[in-house]
Amino acid sequence: QLDGVRRFLGAGRLLLADDMGLGKTAQAIAACHVLWKLGRVRRGLVLVPASLKPQWLREWQMFSTAPIEIVEGGTLDRARAYRRRDGFLIANYEQALRDLPLMQRWNPALVVLDEAQRIKNWATKTAAYVKQLRPRFRLVLTGTPVENRLLDLWSLFAVAQPGLLGGQTAFKRLYNDKADP
């Protein structure tokens, strides 16, 4: 876990793919806390499946003193959350589809994606919207291995480290179009 935190803090961008139960959430919270304490991040957004929002809040409050809030409610409630000056927000992927302009204006310096297999299909609206966020720091967490499609891996890296694997067309060509069965 310490190695994962160190790698992220050193690079500022990381795809952390570990089996379930090995502490990806704890590593993410620790990294966010360090960046907050150092003053390198004043605003951070954690995108998770809706069912995990309470769990993230609970674990965050156990391991960090950085301010955090769950984005929930109707349009006005969510808009109020994005007017928060500093701190971290927990939102779910579906909210990214509705609230992307609010998220962009809020301009988080750090985005954590939990259960990032939600964006492994590069052609979905969710993946397209999440990729429009432009934070300085990016931490992508997944416990689900890439099973059948190399393009799933390309899509995850397109968020974690844009450009690292080149463009999609070049990536597919490099692997003789085996990337999209």
- Taking only the tens place, the pLDDT of each residue in 4-18 is 788 888 888 988 877
| Residue 46 near residue 88, CB atoms below 8 Å | yes
pLDDT tens readout for residues 141-151: 988 666 657 78
pLDDT score for 178: 55
86 burial (CB, 10 Å; 0-12 / 13-18 / 19+) is exposed
| Residue 31 near residue 63, CB atoms below 8 Å | no
pLDDT score for 57: 97
User: What is the pLDDT averaged over residues 146-158?
Assistant: 78
How many angstroms separate the CA atoms of 153 and 157, rounded? 6
- Using the predicted structure, report yes or no on whether residue 28 has a pLDDT greater than 70: yes
Q: Cα 168 to the chain's mean position, in Å?
A: 20
pLDDT score for 157: 87
137-165: burial string, b at 16+ Cβ within 10 Å, e else: bbbbbbbeebeebbbbbbbbbbbbbeeeb
Residues facing residue 112 across a β-bridge: 46, 139
The pTM assigned to this predicted structure is: 0.89
Binned at pLDDT 50, 70 and 90, residue 177 comes out as low
Which of 133, 146, 130 has its CA nearest to residue 181? 146
Angle in degrees, CA 48, 52, 56, rounded to 5: 85
